[in-house]
Amino acid sequence: MDRVPVPRDLKDFSRFFSDAGHRVYLVGGAVRDHFLGKRAGDWDVATDARPEQVMAIFPRVIPTGIEHGTVTIPFRGRAIECTTFRVESDYTDGRRPDSVRYEATIEEDLSRRDFTMNAIAVSLPDGAVIDPYGGRTDVKLRVIRAVGDPRTRFAEDGLRPLRAIRFSALPGFAIDTDTLSAIRPSLGVTERVAPERVREELVKLLSSPEPLTAFRYMEETGLMELILPELSACRGVEQKGRHRHDVLDHLLLTCSACPREVTELMLAGLLHDIGKPAVRATGDDGVITFHGHEIASAKIARSVMTRLKFPNRTIARVVHLVEQHMFHYESSWTDAAVRRFVVRVGVDEIEPLFALRAADSFAISGVRGEPHGIDELRRRISGILEARHAFSLGDLAVNGTDLAGIGITPGPTTGIVLRELLSAVLDDPELNDKDRLLDIALAFVRDRGLAN
């Protein structure tokens, strides 16, 4: 029997199980990654010990998915996910198994896993490989193949088609023909999958090395139309001008040129022009325009991400980047214009916005590197930041209490006046002085007839 080397920590971990009379196996992505020659990410293990038995073995266990027999065990700085062998029966809704039966063998456990490359186990601590479905060969061939009949397996869980596509974003991987052709007939099942699960796979897809491959499969199988119809609507929307690609190809290329490690940027790349079909117009001169497309795109980005139950912070960040992506820097910008840009974009989002611009411009021109003018803008921004001028209401030399002192009643007027003062200070930083600001404030409320 083939054996693989087992890391020291895993051997020691497995001893806790054997001492209690149980078996434990390394399974899932870590085993697949080993045969891909990659360093494994997280460790997932499978055991015949039931969750309550695992909890008795280890002093501290987190019941992360106890209803599916999964607990997380903190061990030497890692979080090891531990699932009791199980066979799931009766998927009536294509979402989750109705019940989970615990079974005694690793082979049965492997039979419920999705793809052959994910259905290999390594026995601990000895390293013996259990590979009933030829997973190692498929890893070598870079083939994503369902365990058993793909139609049946996809009917059990509609997330699996998306998982197959997510794994195709690994370098060199392709989906086996039978498995691929089972995706379209299963879309009705996929439609009922919980949005959170779809989102999780989408995020993993975006952080994988070759998302473009996955997006091509998504379009070809109809999965894109199902989960991201707004994106499908960008197919065939021609742009002319500088653009060689239609809007969909432009979005996919921009996304795949963004830094993988920042999910929000990948999403902003994918969605930044998604409002273009809605605002496309042809002028009398025959020129195609997309006026206000960043606003339309931001709106659609928000609705797509809300539907997929992204966290609010992620949505806000992506929407902001989409909204701001249309800046046109020129050397003739005044310092006040640069300061306003900094305030509008926010100091922390300037570099991400530049990265989005670089990806956007690469998708148009095919030329890597930073577009013209960005570095000049960056240098001007850092000069301005070093000068430590006021960039937010909190940086002003006056506050609400000071305004109250000159008779401006605390309330909505206070905010209006402070924003006006910030605007003045952005134009001329020298004005950020208490006396001068109070003078401006008085003049402002008088001119506007605001309650004083």
Residues that bind ligand ATP (CB under 6 A): 28-29, 41, 44, 113-114, 118, 157, 159-160, 163, 204
If binding is defined by CB under 5 A, does position 72 make contact with Mg ion?
A: no
Q: Which does 436 bind (CB under 5 to 8 A by kind): Mg ion, ligand ATP, none?
A: none
Residue 157 binding: pick among ligand ATP, Mg ion, none (C-beta 5-8 Å cut-off by kind): ligand ATP
Least distance between Mg ion and beta carbon 42 (Å): 5
Name the residue nearer to ligand ATP (CB basis): 43 or 310: 43
Partner whose footprint covers residue 109, from ligand ATP, Mg ion, none (CB < 5 to 8 Å by kind): none
Q: Which amino acid is at 255?
A: C
| Least distance (Å) between residue 28 CB and ligand ATP | 3
Instruction: Kindly tell me which of 42 and 52 has the beta carbon lying closer to Mg ion.
Output: 42
Binding span for Mg ion by CB under 5 A among 26-34, 128-136, 309-317, 431-439: 26-34
For the record, the structure tokens of 51 come out as: 């969750």
Q: Print the SS3 string covering the chain.
A: CCECCCCHHHHHHHHHHHHCCCCEEEECHHHHHHHCCCCCCCCEEEECCCHHHHHHHCCCCEEEEHHHCEEEEEECCEEEEEEECEEEECCCCCCCCCEEEECCCHHHHHHCCCEHHHCCEEEECCCEEECCCCHHHHHHHCEECECCCHHHHHHHCCCHHHHHHHHCCCCCCEECHHHHHCCHHHHHHHCCCCHHHHHHHHHHHHCCCCHHHHHHHHHHHCHHHHHCHHHHCCCCCCCCCCCCCCHHHHHHHHHHHCCCCCHHHHHHHHHCCCCHHHHCEECCCCCEECCCHHHHHHHHHHHHHHHCCCCHHHHHHHHHHHHHCCCCCCCCCCHHHHHHHHHHHCHHHHHHHHHHHHHHHHHHHCCCCCCCCHHHHHHHHHHHHHCCCCCCHHHCCCCHHHHHHCCCCCCHHHHHHHHHHHHHHHHCHHHCCHHHHHHHHHHHHHHHCCCC
**In the complex, minimum distance from the CB of residue 310 to ligand ATP, in angstroms, rounded to a whole number:** 18
Q: Which does 113 bind (CB under 5 to 8 A by kind): ligand ATP, Mg ion, none?
A: ligand ATP
Instruction: Give the nearest distance from C-beta 400 to ligand ATP in angstroms.
Output: 50
According to CB under 5 A, which one of 16, 23, 29, 212 is a site residue for Mg ion? 29
User: Considering the complex, what minimum distance in angstroms separates the CB of residue 335 from ligand ATP?
Assistant: 47
Q: How far is the CB of 159 from ligand ATP (least distance, A)?
A: 5
**Which one, 114 or 360, has the nearer CB to ligand ATP?**
114
Sites for Mg ion among residues 36-55 (CB under 5 A): 42
Dihedrals φ, ψ of 72, to 5°?
-110, 130
Query: 7 or 41, CB closer to ligand ATP?
Result: 41
Residue nearest to Mg ion (CB): 29
| Min separation Cβ 254 and ligand ATP, Å | 24
Between residues 24 and 322, which has the closer beta carbon with respect to Mg ion? 24
Comparison of 163 and 357: residue with beta carbon closer to ligand ATP: 163
Residue number of the CB closest to ligand ATP reads 29
Nearer to ligand ATP, 28 or 275 (CB): 28
160 binds, among Mg ion, ligand ATP, none (CB under 5 to 8 A by kind): ligand ATP
Closer by beta carbon to ligand ATP, 113 or else 380: 113
Omega before 125 within 30 of 0, i.e. cis? yes
Interacting residues with Mg ion (CB under 5 A): 29, 42
